[in-house]
Amino acid sequence: MQIVNGYVCNCCTEVDLARRGLDPQNPTNDPVKAADEARKAGRFDEAAVILGGSLAGGEAAGTVAPGPRDWRAGNLVDIRA
């Protein structure tokens, strides 16, 4: 067993592929096979955090949801004072 260009190689064919910069486990760059290999290795492309409640709406990150408006006396601030 050898490690060539960061790839684990078990035979001379895999060593040749790794020297050319191809992944010996997936030399054809098949996206389905790459996702399967990543899943086996413990890497996931799923969200790390799932938002719930008022954050689950999927709104853009920079938007602000309007809050309740209460214009009764005492809730206002006089910035001139």
Q: Per the domain annotation, does 69 fall within a domain?
A: no
pTM to 2 decimal places: 0.41
Q: Per the domain annotation, does 47 fall within a domain?
A: yes
Instruction: Report the percentage of the chain scoring pLDDT > 70.
Output: 67
* DSSP classification of residue 6: T
pLDDT score recorded for residue 34: 80
Please count the structural domains in the chain: 1
Band of residue 11 on the pLDDT scale cut at 50, 70, 90? very high
Q: Per the domain annotation, does 77 fall within a domain?
A: no
Q: Which helix (H) or strand (E) holds 71?
A: none
pLDDT at 20 over 80: yes
Q: Per the domain annotation, does 25 fall within a domain?
A: yes
Q: How far apart are CA 30 and CA 18, in angstroms?
A: 16
Q: Which domain holds residue 21?
A: 2-54
